[in-house]
Amino acid sequence: MSKDFKHAIEYSKKWIDIMHQERVPEDVGKWIIDESKHNFAEHFNKGWLEYRKSVTEVGDWACTEWTGRGAIFEDVLGRKYIDCLGGYGMMDHGWSHPDVVAAVAAQLRRTPMPSQELIDPLRGVLAKLMADITPGDIKYSFFCASGTEAIEGAIKLAKMYSKKSAFIVATKAFHGKTMGSLSMLGKADYRVPPGLLYAGQVYHVPFGDAAAVERQLDICDQVGIGVAAVMMEPIQGEAGAIVPPDDFWPRIRKATRDHGVLLIADEVQTGLGRTGALWGVDHWGVEPDIIAVAKSLGGGVMPISSFCSTEEIWQVMMDPNPFIHTTTTGGGALACSAAIAAINVVLRDDYPKQAREKGKHFMDKLEVLEKKYANIYDFICGKGLLIGQHFKDAHVGYKVAAGLFKRGVLVAGTLTSAHTVRIEPPIVIEYEQIDEVLNRLEDTLKEVSG
């Protein structure tokens, strides 16, 4: 039975007209809220509506986002919020960074996507820039659209080069939710429902425990299990900004070299200045064999990710089959233009220094609050502008996130719990905005602890 597409044409045209409006009248804004709730519930995922903890406390779907600049965004009714979530690390540059938007707009006027058969220059430019800014001898890059795709590519590259199949990863790690990445992830919440994952051996060890990594490598050698790579986040993000001991990364770098095993750094969230260094591994002077990058690489404007490695390792991507790993839409001209501009801004405006200094400003005052409200807080940790507030229980974290949103500040817990509430604002956040967040946080803590 054929469908009548008249409604689809009319409905899409109505939304196209709305998209062309910079601001919408209040009645249209309220219609957008109702329509968005309906569409998410009936056609996308109603669980997303029910699980938005910070907004449900303050009214039924209190915020439907519409526009933003810097660290401030507005909902469809024009209400302003300070963003202290930063798209889980995607918004290092803030909302709609003008330099990134301008680069993408210029490329859009020229051509949005390449033919995939001829040579498109921006892909080559971006690959060279990645070689210029990544640690050690990394020289080659492949571009895709999301963090989990970058991890999938890193896993595949490690397997092809090493001709081995086992991986050593960390408990509580987050590497993405496609099947290969999910196999490396360290949380049962996501691993159990899909059932059987990656067919090779995956060994999970406690994050930050270098001796556990060394011991697992020794055991695998003794029993004849070939390990392709050890893969870790420099600082665990989704687990709550968990910083490993200072000897962790140097020791696992030495151990992997001693055993002839590759070391993969998942810099999807930590890369490009977030933690106060250009790369998370830079805090410990470590050079990984493979690095995965995403989130802020697109400057908060376009989705783009990358996995990168050395010339020696990359040979398996080029010979005998240079098309062993491809994607039709990954590394398109718009995405590459955004990444080129994003990197320029990161280096020009010294995002690592900004994150380091603003993060210290945040942490110094958070530590005062931690002591003052010791009945609520468990501990606070992090580096740069990747900060985790760990509360004594998830209910308290939920109340804090909701209380902050009620006061116009967006934060969030980790994906399945509010036990830890992250502070991960755009790196461009201003000091006055940080102080306002801290003021509103203390108001919230007073309310929650009262």
Q: Provide the pLDDT for residue 54.
A: 53
Question: Listing from the earlier edge strand, what are the strands of the sheet with 377-383?
Answer: 377-383, 386-391, 417-423, 412-414
Residue 205, phi then psi, degrees to nearest 5: -125, 160
- C-alpha angle with apex 427: 424 to 431, nearest 5 degrees? 95
Q: Provide the pLDDT for residue 408.
A: 94
The answer, yes or no, to whether residue 71 has pLDDT greater than 90, is yes
Helices (H), 300-381: 311-318, 333-348, 351-372
The answer, yes or no, to whether residue 57 has pLDDT greater than 70, is no
> Would you kindly state where each structural domain of the chain is located, as residue ranges?
24-84+351-449, 98-348
Could you tell me if 329 and 145 are in contact, meaning their C-beta atoms sit under 8 angstroms apart? yes
- Tally of CB atoms within 10 A around 435: 13
Q: Give the CATH superfamily of 24-84+351-449.
A: Aspartate Aminotransferase, domain 1 (3.90.1150.10)
Residue 414 banded pLDDT, cuts 50, 70, 90: low
Q: Provide the pLDDT for residue 291.
A: 98
Residue 198 banded pLDDT, cuts 50, 70, 90: confident
Nearest to 232 by CA among 260, 258, 204, 257: 204
- Structurally, at CATH architecture level, domain 98-348 sits in 3-Layer(aba) Sandwich (3.40)
Residue 59 banded pLDDT, cuts 50, 70, 90: low
| pLDDT tens digit sequence for 362-394 | 999 999 999 999 999 999 999 999 999 999 998
Residue 256's identity, in one-letter code, is T
